[in-house]
Amino acid sequence: MKLLPLVALSWLGACAAPSTSPDLASARWIDLTHSFDERTIYWPNNPFGFELEVQYKGQTPGGWFYSSNALRAPEHGGTHLDAPVHFHEGAHSTEQVPIEQLVGRACVIDVSASVGENADHLVSIAEVQAWERLHGEIPRGAIVLLRTGWDRYYDDRIKCLGTPKRGNEAIPELHFPGIDPELAQWLVDHRAPKAVGLDTPSVDYGQSTDFRTHRILAAKNVCGFENVANLAQLPATGAFVMALPMKIKGGTGGPLRIVACLGG
């Protein structure tokens, strides 16, 4: 019964200027979510993507306007959550992830300069340690967000994924940056993040065949956020992030609405 007030107080405090009452009206909010539509990026062997069916749109017999849609989509695509059970048996499914694991202060590690156009870049321990020398050690329980700059290609499916192909034959041709498994292990062993996210289609790079980064994070019940948008608008430290997925019982993930609060 006390969890929600504690989370709310933490959120309000994070959005408020020091030693002042919270002023949410003056806080700056950044949407870190790509919209879902027919262009949404999904793993190329998914048999379908995001589908929106207009069930009614127009004037009713009673004389007022009414509209309603139906939708279907895979769990994993667009800006979304990887629940730990996605890659570890018995780990948290989507609805089991504690709320406090989805909200918190963010460390935004910008590696876009070193990534450049290298679609096979693996974000390394050395890059994160270089960030820490400038901004301080990542605190335990932080939400770690890695900015590769790859979200600039989100609206270009071929460039984003590295292949125009679809189906299983596309998988060997995927090319986009990801997180080195050694970095994933270092993070869970030494920094204990709540969640790890980035602006590419997967925490594992496109050429991964064993998905070790997924497996390492999931084994520690660390959530993954994929296809995060607008990380360039966040400071290295100081943002407070809320990442709330659709609450799917038994889900392995789900569409994610993730936002950041700056100041107040």
Domains and CATH numbers, the chain: 3-262 (3.50.30.50)
Residue bearing tokens 């062997």? 45
- Integer Cα distance of 187 and 245 in angstroms: 23
Local confidence band at 264 (pLDDT 50, 70, 90 cut-offs)? low
Average of per-residue pLDDT across 108-128: 98
* pLDDT the model gives residue 26: 79
pLDDT in tens, 130-162: 999 999 999 999 999 999 999 999 999 999 999
Q: What is the DSSP string of 68-123?
A: EEEEE--SSBSSEEE-GGGTSTTS--GGGS-GGGSEEEEEEEE-HHHHTT-TT-EE
Residue bearing tokens 């200027």? 17
Q: Regarding predicted confidence, which is higher, 7 or 209?
A: 209
Average of per-residue pLDDT across 213-221: 98
Average of per-residue pLDDT across 90-119: 97
Helix (H) or strand (E) segment spanning residue 20: none
pLDDT of residue 24 exceeding 70, the answer is: no
Local confidence band at 35 (pLDDT 50, 70, 90 cut-offs)? very high
Local confidence band at 27 (pLDDT 50, 70, 90 cut-offs)? confident
The closest of 263, 255, 195, 193 to 233, measured between CA atoms, is 263
* pLDDT the model gives residue 83: 98
Which residues in 136-202 belong to E strands, given as ranges? Answer: 143-147, 178-179, 195-198
- Integer Cα distance of 77 and 74 in angstroms: 7
Local confidence band at 7 (pLDDT 50, 70, 90 cut-offs)? very low
- Integer Cα distance of 102 and 92 in angstroms: 13
Residue bearing tokens 């589908």? 51
